[in-house]
Structure 1
Amino acid sequence: MESYSYADAVRSALKQPYCLHDRSEKKPVFLNFSVSNIEKQINDKFPLPELKKIHDDSGSFWFSNEFPTPETLDFKNTINNLSKLSTNLRSRGVSIITGEGCLLSCLPELSQVCRMVFQVDHDPRLLHLSQQLIVSLPTVSIREETIWLDQAIKKIGHEVIEFYPARGEEIHTQYSDNRNGMGRYHCFSSEQRLKETQKACSLCKIIPVHADFFAKKDMLELAKIINKNNIEVVFINLSNVMEYFQAFYTENPFCGIVTGFDPSYHVRNLPLSKSTLCAFSSLRVTPLFTSVCCKKNYQKELYSLARKNSDAVIAQLAERFSSSSSTLLPADACLVLAKTAYPYSLTQASLRLTLSHLTYSEAVELQKQRSTIEAALKANRCIKGNVIIEFLTIIDTAITGQLTAEPNINRLSAPIPEINIR
């Protein structure tokens, strides 16, 4: 029987259900894979609310701001790293991006490595705007850029409830900043780049995913779809999602888990492969940067990003209490938090993040300081009885989790699962 090569499978995938070469039997095996089928599964699990049912109640990050403020904050470097993957198209590959994710500037490169992009965001207005722009882009000339953007805004504004005129101005401003920041990579930077992006629109399907990276159910459902269809995550960009640690802990109230429970906790359910290119950014606390790494180091990098933001909060608080150090040990940080008059939601979030990767030696020191921390809590007039109990319970849980485990082990547990792609 005539052999069926991988190249044949790639070409076939663009026209019909995916055909995988089974080396043992030397014949094609059809797995009923199609982009439209994946899109249906996504729509079933993550339905995008209709515009007419959405209230315009706040601003949004309509376009990525990962462009050069300092030299280290430059998404163009991420695109360059992405282009290095372009020689290896994965017909079952998907890229996962957060929000707009510089989509209008990196779509040509994405289309060379995958046939689908999961555009994940909890703001349905942003997802609708991106869809409007992408759907209409293939028929637009370079002279119609402003008309193209205005029509998308008008579509959103006409249907969203109480869409304020200032929101349109906000979109225009962010678009202009993004366009200027991305330079030659932006789709309207030149005729040639526009043609490349328009071609990419026909090669790569952008699928909106109305989901939250901080929600356990959402990440488990998305992981199920990826695993069920044997999809390979080629590229993932969480941007600066991990910097919103308070939102993570608000979404996930304390339920007895401290160790390992940081903002990347539910993201770890997403199955990445060893070759997945992982991107992330720091946009709220200096030093600002964008960066990429391999799957092996991703969890550590995401935790460090969240911790950097929490440490900045604690450092600001420490200055009020004349602390001589801006980098505090967990025990010292807990004492600072016990004295603060900040809203408990922020205090608790910083506490849980600080203790999420406590080391054995740090736990020993924290145990020594527990009575001092308790006294500070009771002396703080802004903290009530139930809050004191929960605060101390979080500390005790963290201490117990470390002192009953083997000392000096790697605390970055629960690694990101890996999917094997044939």
Structure 2
Amino acid sequence: MDVGQLSSPEMVHSNLGFPIDCDKLKKVSHFAGFSVREVVDKLNDLPPSADFKSAAGFDNTFWFTNEYHGGYISESATSLKDTFKEIKEFSPVSQRRISIVTGESGLLSCLPELARLSNLVILIDQNPILLFFLFSLFNKLSEIEDCRDEEYADLIKSAFLLTKDKVEGISFSEENALLLAMKYKEAFNEWHCFSSRERLEETKKALEKMHIHPLCTNYYDEESMKRLAKIISDEELDIVFFNMSNVLEYYHRFFEWKRYPCPIKGVDNTLYLNELPFTEETLCAYSTLIYCDERRAMTCTGDVFFEKAYQLHKLNIYYDVCGETLGEEKTDKDLILDACMKLAQMDPGTDTGKLVLHKLRNLLAHSSEEALSQLSENYHRIQKTLDKNKPYQSSSENEQKKYTFLSVIQLACGEAGLKINRYNPSSRGRRKKKAGEDSLAASGRK
């Protein structure tokens, strides 16, 4: 992909090199009440996600959202369409408004409503394949004249082929992308831009007065989130709508970016996301598609979003590691020791085993002091389990992983002011020897 092209007064490029229409940016500024061009110039200075160079390695490219009935969400649960209804009823006060969305976020089915809230939409994803596909899709959409399925199929194919020309080695087929596109259209029904000629015209008009800006970055990248937050604050912009989809469920990725050693308590996967200046009125959308029994989309306001996100993260990590959810019958005190024992028994050579430390650190970061106290008292059981786990003894590298596993527990308990009840094999031998001597002495006395 073309990266690092220089901007000129006549031409602007995204942080992945996509050419941006400057005339369009001027028109959008007329509706927005602020210089969209100035904001875009600053956004383009953000370095792209570190993963962008391995673009073709993104096997799971989510071309369209799965947050709809028939996708990942059941008929009985709330879906992204319920979020669109809230967008439609929303009445923002501020004039300097922007929206931030993750991936496709249902944009093909909500642009007329979203254009009422903000004229600059920052589209964030770490996958450059998806960003280029969506960028091509929205550029071509303005040229469509009819809402028939044939035109929709041609639009998808055109964007997909442009993407394949730009990025070599994409294994995903055009047929599969088209199949997902049709399922997506059927699911969103009257909301979809190709549901009727009237809806298509509404969508095209919305595109005329808004700018959707692709930004290749990662919510778990500290520098990018701080710089993005500074741009928004410096420009005195309000985030009126934010949809992060189910990014919170990829909790292990957080610790791939924030590596050990680091504090345990108080560190969760919203740490850098917390830099974004949400207001009390910000409409925040997120979803559960992997770990919770009920897969659904949810919304809340900006003043409670991070507390909601923390609780969701806690439920996710416990369900992932323990296979159970927290509730009245099962507290974290009941689950924490069993969960650590399960992690201690994992084979580090497997795909799941490679995430052991990520899972452990997240588990302990969300555990109560009561649960950590019980863990500290049973630390020796974890140590013995690791010693018996043969894959950890197969090489010096695995021995180091065992040491790190125990260090994470020590750090978490230490941060909670708890003393570890360590297991010492030599002292156990001394106790056995002393017990034997006492037994012989007792026999002699008889």
Q: Do these two structures clear the TM 0.5 threshold for a shared fold by scoring above it?
A: yes
Q: Please tell me whether residue 389 in structure 1 is matched to residue 403 in structure 2.
A: yes
Give the 3 Å change call, closer, same or farther, for CA 184–241 of structure 1 in structure 2.
same
Q: Distance in 2 between matches of 1:365 and 1:226?
A: 44
CA contact 1:240–1:280 (8 Å) conserved in 2: yes
Q: Distance in 2 between matches of 1:57 and 1:195?
A: 34
Larger-gyration structure (1/2): 2
Aligned to 2:64: 63
Give the 3 Å change call, closer, same or farther, for CA 207–179 of structure 1 in structure 2.
same
Aligned to 2:380: 371
2:156 to 127, 149, 152: 149
1:154-233 residue pairs with structure 2 within 5 A? Answer: 154-164=161-171, 166-233=172-239
Give the 3 Å change call, closer, same or farther, for CA 97–57 of structure 1 in structure 2.
closer
Give the 3 Å change call, closer, same or farther, for CA 348–255 of structure 1 in structure 2.
same
Using the size of structure 2 for normalisation, the TM-score is 0.77
Give the 3 Å change call, closer, same or farther, for CA 170–13 of structure 1 in structure 2.
closer
Aligned to 2:309: 302
Shift of 1:13: 8.7
CA contact 1:277–1:293 (8 Å) conserved in 2: yes
Letter in 1 for 2:177: I
2:417 to 403, 411, 415: 403
Shift of 1:52: 11
Aligned to 1:29: none
Letter in 2 for 1:403: G
How many correspondences in the alignment? 371
Q: Percent identity?
A: 27
Q: Distance in 1 between matches of 2:59 and 2:405?
A: 32
Q: Distance in 2 between matches of 1:329 and 1:48?
A: 36
CA contact 1:259–1:355 (8 Å) conserved in 2: yes
Aligned to 2:343: 337
SS in 1 for 2:117: coil
Give the 3 Å change call, closer, same or farther, for CA 110–375 of structure 1 in structure 2.
same
Q: Distance in 1 between matches of 2:36 and 2:387?
A: 58
Q: Please tell me whether residue 292 in structure 1 is matched to residue 299 in structure 2.
A: yes
Letter in 1 for 2:299: V
1:5-404 residue pairs with structure 2 within 5 A? Answer: 14-15=29-30, 18=33, 33-46=34-47, 54-55=55-56, 58-68=59-69, 69-70=73-74, 71-85=76-90, 87-88=91-92, 90-141=94-145, 142-143=147-148, 144-164=151-171, 166-285=172-291, 286-316=293-323, 328-342=334-348, 343=350, 344-383=353-392, 384-403=398-417
Q: Distance in 2 between matches of 1:67 and 1:174?
A: 12
CA contact 1:278–1:295 (8 Å) conserved in 2: yes
Aligned to 1:30: none
Q: Distance in 2 between matches of 1:17 and 1:113?
A: 10
Shift of 1:48: 9.1
CA contact 1:65–1:177 (8 Å) conserved in 2: no
SS in 2 for 1:260: coil
SS in 1 for 2:45: helix
CA contact 1:330–1:366 (8 Å) conserved in 2: yes
Give the 3 Å change call, closer, same or farther, for CA 239–53 of structure 1 in structure 2.
closer
Q: Distance in 2 between matches of 1:117 and 1:173?
A: 27
Q: Distance in 2 between matches of 1:149 and 1:333?
A: 45
CA contact 2:318–2:324 (8 Å) conserved in 1: no
Q: Distance in 1 between matches of 2:373 and 2:354?
A: 26
SS in 2 for 1:279: strand
SS in 2 for 1:63: coil
CA contact 2:249–2:313 (8 Å) conserved in 1: yes
CA contact 2:49–2:126 (8 Å) conserved in 1: no
CA contact 2:96–2:237 (8 Å) conserved in 1: yes
Structure 2 gaps, min length 5:
1-26, 393-397, 419-446
CA contact 1:317–1:340 (8 Å) conserved in 2: no
Shift of 1:315: 2.8
Q: Distance in 2 between matches of 1:104 and 1:275?
A: 24
Give the 3 Å change call, closer, same or farther, for CA 267–57 of structure 1 in structure 2.
closer
SS in 2 for 1:81: helix
SS in 2 for 1:329: helix
SS in 2 for 1:351: helix
Letter in 2 for 1:208: P
Using the size of structure 1 for normalisation, the TM-score is 0.81
CA contact 1:339–1:376 (8 Å) conserved in 2: yes
Give the 3 Å change call, closer, same or farther, for CA 111–391 of structure 1 in structure 2.
same
CA contact 2:279–2:303 (8 Å) conserved in 1: no
